[in-house]
Structure 1
């Protein structure tokens, strides 16, 4: 089992440290899928990192998806990016 798989297993079992580490690693890798999975699982930290990473990558579709689900921070970032 890879280190990443082990972290995912621990996170799924409720280990907050593992969740935090996954968020950090996914942000560093620009892994929107991992961040989305964690955010959809209820992690507000992952949602924040997802917005930050999507903004850095110019991933407007991801920001739109979040904004449509009622995330105001994503809506604000989307508005900023589309104004430019």
Structure 2
């Protein structure tokens, strides 16, 4: 029987996704990831550091709309999508 291990998504995992992902928070705000781990609110053009919203991130999607990472609730960790999970 195979075990599925979910991989936790840390802040540095965001580096290769600059300008290629959107980040949605539990407050339903949508940000796009910019360089230097900055995020830009798509409605208000407000710029914040990723670390300021990291624990409020619910879903990370690529430009095609596919989910890269997800957090089920605010108390859980942010994990890569199960299609990227490693099988032991």
TM-score (norm 1): 0.27
* RCO higher in structure (CA 8 A, sep ≥6): 2
TM-score (norm 2): 0.26
Name whichever structure is richer in strand by fraction. Answer: 2
Name whichever structure is richer in helix by fraction. Answer: 1
